[in-house]
Amino acid sequence: MSDPLCPLCGRPIPPDAPQSRHHLIPKLKGGKGGPTVLLHDICHREIHATLTEAELAQTFNTIEALQSHPRLAGFLRWVRKRPPEFRSRVPGKRRKR
């Protein structure tokens, strides 16, 4: 059986790769029972380092919308060149206030 694909970056998610579930609508904004997607942990952390919960709930609540965000699009171009098990620290909060 093949590894699941990260819907954000399109790379496989091997069993030993850090991974996490992302609520397309944040739990704090009404998405507790809503749809989730399995992502590489690095992809998930980049989403939350880039966008506020309100932005995620209102505008960036689909994979396509997340992929269209300028900063996330740049991150995706970069991370797609890395192996599926690649991990890196995302520095503290980098979103603009």
Q: What backbone torsions phi and psi does residue 72 show, to the nearest 5 degrees? A: -65, -35
Per the CB < 8 A criterion, the answer to whether 26 and 53 are in contact is: yes
Q: What backbone torsions phi and psi does residue 80 show, to the nearest 5 degrees? A: -65, -20
Report how far residue 20's alpha carbon sits from residue 64's, in angstroms, rounded to the nearest whole number.
19
Output the tens digit of pLDDT for each of the chain's 97 residues.
789 999 999 999 999 999 999 999 999 998 898 999 999 999 999 999 999 999 999 999 999 999 999 999 999 999 999 999 888 765 555 555 4
Please report how many Cα atoms fall inside a 13 Å half-sphere around the Cα of residue 69, on the Cβ side.
Answer: 22
